[in-house]
Amino acid sequence: MATFTCSIDDAFPDTCLGGVLTIGNFDGVHLGHQALLAEASRQAQAIPGPAVAVTLDPHPSLLLRPDKVGPSLNTLVDRASLLQRHGADHVLILRTSPELLQLSAREFFQRIILTQLRAAALVEGFNFGFGRNREGTIDVLKQLCTEAKLRLTLLPPREVQGLVVSSSRVRTELLAGRVDVVAALLGREYVITGTVEAGQKRGTTIGFPTANLHDVPTLLPGDGVYALRATVDGTTWPAAANVGPNPTFGEIARKTEVHLLGFTGDLYGKLLSATFVKKIRDTKTFASIDTLKEQISHDLESVRMALS
């Protein structure tokens, strides 16, 4: 397995040629994406040839509508790893450029899919779009594949709890704090990673020290207190996290503060990964420090139960 990064003017790696392609942004690599990868892998083994996941970086919207783009659901490195875990033999990362975005659907199909990747087959989802202004609809794709005598497999949407699985739905559920639903959509629990940096140290003064996560590159869950598993230096701890402001102390900035149950030591400067299991409660303002400490004790008991 390998990951390659290319511009559209590069010669693509030989190991990516003549295989079964699935193309998309794959943000989150959710159950719908995993179905595409599994089908591409199945067809590739029958040829035989490589199953190749083609993804764009950065996201086209960062060039077209940068003011409307939020954080992704996973980093590019994690996305590539997940794509391979779920069936891709190779991941080809196409550098997003104005030239690439100006290709019409027919030009993209002819140049990228047929000429440069010499695709043997194509596997896509129900909502796939490509080419300038996403003019390449499913109907356009069908026509182009028919003309080129290229086998096309279109998969129906996956559903969880009666609704279609999509990256936008994952974001909506995550921002609502429904991390259990997010886990059902992803087929795994949601994880963020950040660097522990010094904070106000209020947690230490009230008996509940927290690790303040900074430089988290992916989307944070909605405000609230969560049960999670925190991994640092290869060891995993039961943990509680407060995501959002700290209104009791008059702070309005969103932060991610993680308390590792049973941990003692210095975490400053270390990478910490937080795996979200369950939301415990919404953010609240407390009338006194004693009331806050009592609530935190209740929260930690709820965390232990959620993780038991």
Model pLDDT for residues 76-130, shown as the tens digit of each residue: 999 999 999 999 999 999 999 999 999 999 999 999 999 999 999 999 998 999 9
Give me the pLDDT at residue 1, please. Answer: 87
- Residue 98 burial (C-beta neighbours within 10 Å; 0-12, 13-18, 19+): exposed
Residues 6+ apart with CB under 8 A from 235: none
Buried/exposed 4-42: b ≥16 CB within 10 Å, e otherwise: bebebeeebeebbbebbbbbbebbbbbbbbbbbbbbbbe
High-pLDDT (> 90) share of the chain, %:
83
62, 75, 160, 181 from 169: Cα distances, Å: 20, 18, 11, 10
> Distance (Å, rounded) from C-alpha 87 to C-alpha 155?
16
pLDDT in tens, 135-152: 999 999 999 999 999 999
Give yes or no for residue 248 having a pLDDT over 80.
no
Q: Judging by DSSP bridges, how do beta strands 224-232 and 235-246 pair with one another?
A: antiparallel
CA angle centred on 120, ends 114 and 122, rounded to 5°: 85
Give yes or no for residue 246 having a pLDDT over 90.
no
SS3 1: coil
Average pLDDT in the 148-167 region? 97
> Distance (Å, rounded) from C-alpha 308 to C-alpha 297?
17
Within the chain, strands assigned E span: 2-6, 20-23, 51-57, 90-95, 121-125, 151-155, 159-160, 163-164, 190-197, 211-214, 224-232, 235-246, 251-260, 271-281
Pairwise pLDDT comparison (291 vs 189), residue with the higher score: 189
Measured in whole angstroms, the distance separating CA 220 from the mean position of its chain's CA atoms is 11
Give, as one character, the DSSP assignment of residue 58.
Answer: S
Give me the pLDDT at residue 204, please. Answer: 58
Give yes or no for residue 203 having a pLDDT over 60.
no
Do domains 2-156 and 189-307 share one topology? The answer is: no
As a CATH number, domain 2-156 is 3.40.50.620
Name the residue ranges covered by the structural domains of the chain.
2-156, 189-307
pLDDT confidence tier of residue 61, bands split at 50, 70 and 90: confident
The domain defined by 189-307 folds into Elongation Factor Tu (Ef-tu); domain 3 (2.40.30)
Residue the block writes with tokens 């109907």: 139
Q: Radius of gyration over alpha carbons of the chain, in Å?
A: 22
Query: Six-digit token pair at 267?
Result: 């975490």
Peptide bond into 66 cis (omega under 30): no
Q: Taking phi first (over 0 means left), then psi (-120 to 50 degrees means alpha), and beta for anything else, what does residue 25 get?
A: alpha
Mean pLDDT of the chain: 94
